[in-house]
Structure 1
């Protein structure tokens, strides 16, 4: 927890080099991608979000921290992840990721996309603020096996059921993964989701379990 607190301050300071030192230290100590993302980057950004909501930091502080984390995540992909998978076949299927319309916070879904790449998936990351029509067009053309969507803000999370409905009506075999802070809304928000096609991811361990089952020929 002390490491997360220190890393949070580094992000708020906008110190990209120091942030990278923390990540490299975790890598050198044998931490997995999931551990680094779930136990360092994510909790630090949650702390920063809480500080912003409680007016302990300004919007400018939050943006600086987010940009610093964004840099760290991009550097991780190019310096750590890509060399690991450069000689591997991406044979686990296709996975498409995005944030719903009006949702601008995409760090979480980008972490998930990198984890999928490391697990052997061919990944397309479409980023923030994507209307469902564009998701449908991309999915028709690219034919993914898995679609993951995220909404961190509660207001944007209210759009998720309509995305699920549209995707389930159009595609019979695609698996849908749903994540984000909006899941703190009442359960009935997703009560019409087909459990055989839709998986709700609220914790990193749940995604790890899903991936383990998937790569072993499960769901």
Structure 2
């Protein structure tokens, strides 16, 4: 069981930019699955960093340092847990809307898809819609994950979903990010858009998708 103070301890190392201590702290919980490490440790640690920033207890420079340090830890963790890249038949793309800079959650989702046997392309933050459409046309992903965390970007969310729906083979659109926990995003989405509030819902969707795929393959 995770000590409730552990994520705050990790947040302190991230704010220091201390990758060695942050990684050692993560390694102490190596019995946890990749999902549990993300959900129970890294996510609450970064939420604490966000809380400190919103309350002016740290500067934007501190928040950026914590984010970059966390990025390094996620990359190292994924490399350690996932091993060598493999070729898979199912494809997924992940990106933040234009103007969106909060990409840590999206990066964790990308790793979870890889762990579940998907080939992925992770584009990170701030990708304009025209480049998303071109990449999707060229690569033909089955799923595209979009992250949105700022309220005034919601009209852009609708634009992305509309444009991707015009593709010859429209992908499944999954929407997540901080806004998905607190706002009703449905008015900005199509009827077929999947809105997921956290990594647990993402895990459940992946499990269901794997089960459906196996059933389809049996016929």
Shift of 1:173: 4.2
Report how many residues are paired.
Answer: 211
Q: Matches of residues 44-59 of structure 1 in structure 2 within 5 Å? A: 44-59=45-60
Q: 1:186 Cα deviation (Å)?
A: 4.3
Within a 5 Å distance, the mapping from 1:156-195 to structure 2 comes to 156-183=153-180, 186-187=183-184, 189-191=185-187, 193-195=189-191
How many Å separate the matches in 2 of 1:185 and 1:168? 25
Question: Is the 1:154–1:185 contact (alpha carbons within 8 Å) kept by the matching residues of 2?
Answer: no
Partners of 2:11 and 2:155 lie apart in 1 by 29
Q: Which runs of 5+ in 1 are unaligned?
A: none
Q: CA deviation at 1:4?
A: 0.9
1:171/1:180 Cα in 2 relative to 1: closer, same or farther (>3 Å)? farther
Equivalent of 1:13 in 9, 12, 16: 16
Distance 2:168 2:43 in 1: 32
Match of 2:70 in 1: 69
After TM superposition, the structure 1 = structure 2 runs for residues 24-43 of structure 1, keeping only pairs within 5 Å, are 24-27=27-30, 30-43=31-44
Which stretch of the first structure deviates more once superposed, 170-179 or 112-121? 170-179
Per the TM alignment, residue 17 of structure 1 is displaced from its structure 2 partner at its CA by 0.5
- Residue equivalent to 1:217: 212
TM-score (norm 1): 0.89
Q: Report deviation, 1:170.
A: 2.4
Question: Could you list the per-position Cα deviations for residues 62-89 of structure 1 after superposition, in whole angstroms to 9, with x for gaps in the alignment?
Answer: 11111110111111122222x2xx3865
**Aligned pair in 2 of structure 1 residues 89, 172: CA closer, same or farther (>3 Å)?**
closer
